[in-house]
Amino acid sequence: MPRYKLTIEYDGAPFCGWQLQDNALSVQGALEAAVAAMCGEPVRVHGAGRTDAGVHAFGQVAHCDVAKPFAPDRLRDGLNAHLRPHPIAVLAAEIVPDTFEARFSARKRHYLYRIKNTRANLALDIGRVWRVPRRLDAGAMHEAAQRLVGKHDFTTFRDTECQAKSPEKTLDQLDVTRDGDEIRIVTSARSFLHSQVRSMVGSLVWVGEGRWSADDLAAALAAKNRAACGPVAPPEGLYLVRVEY
């Protein structure tokens, strides 16, 4: 029974998130239905990251074991045919060793958060960025963001329903840049807590607006208290860009 690694792109807007749910459309559920249509039997698809409702992906990774072997390109094309009209694309399929696990074999996950810093209403980017009308100081945001890099207890930036055993994570990167009206926040780590990225982004926006200083952000981290967190950024600006193995 070969194991396949799938690299997947999707628009998260129509979905309740990655994870399978009984009464809602999920990315995992749509993929499992497509694999079952090809194979004629139920197949579990395991993802590298459980993205929330509305979160997008350029490079989500999943694996599945299929009883009937397919050439990787044929599996990719067949899945894409069965996935229509869902906004999900299987970009690549490859056969991997049985020891490969999309979630547990991952060495690093890379995320991008997009903010459109404009007073004008959105047109082409509706549902794909967070529009913040007040001018943000990207330099101050980047400087403050470096206070969060490294190994810390991220309880402040952790959803109250997070199921991770420990709030400690090592953040390898948190960079903030501006390109015209767009603020781009790039972050990477081996793994993240539930809502950690969106929680950090919301707090950084407070820094960009001048409500918080870098010291305020550091104090929020040190508080190890969810109540000390700034606003949680909306999901539509977040993208899972790439998973390293």
Which residues are annotated as catalytic?
A: 52
Say if residues 21 and 62 touch (Cβ distance below 8 Å): no
Secondary structure (DSSP) of 191-214: ---TTHHHHHHHHHHHHHHTSS-H
DSSP annotation of 157 reads: G
Work out the number of other CB atoms within 10 angstroms of the CB of residue 32: 18
170-174 CB contacts, 8 Å cutoff, 24+ apart: 172/108, 173/149, 174/145, 174/146, 174/148, 174/149, 174/200
Phi, psi for 18 (deg, rounded to 5):
-70, -45
CA distance 178 to 138: 6
Residue recorded with tokens 């967190």: 229
Say if residues 223 and 41 touch (Cβ distance below 8 Å): no
Residue recorded with tokens 């870098």: 214
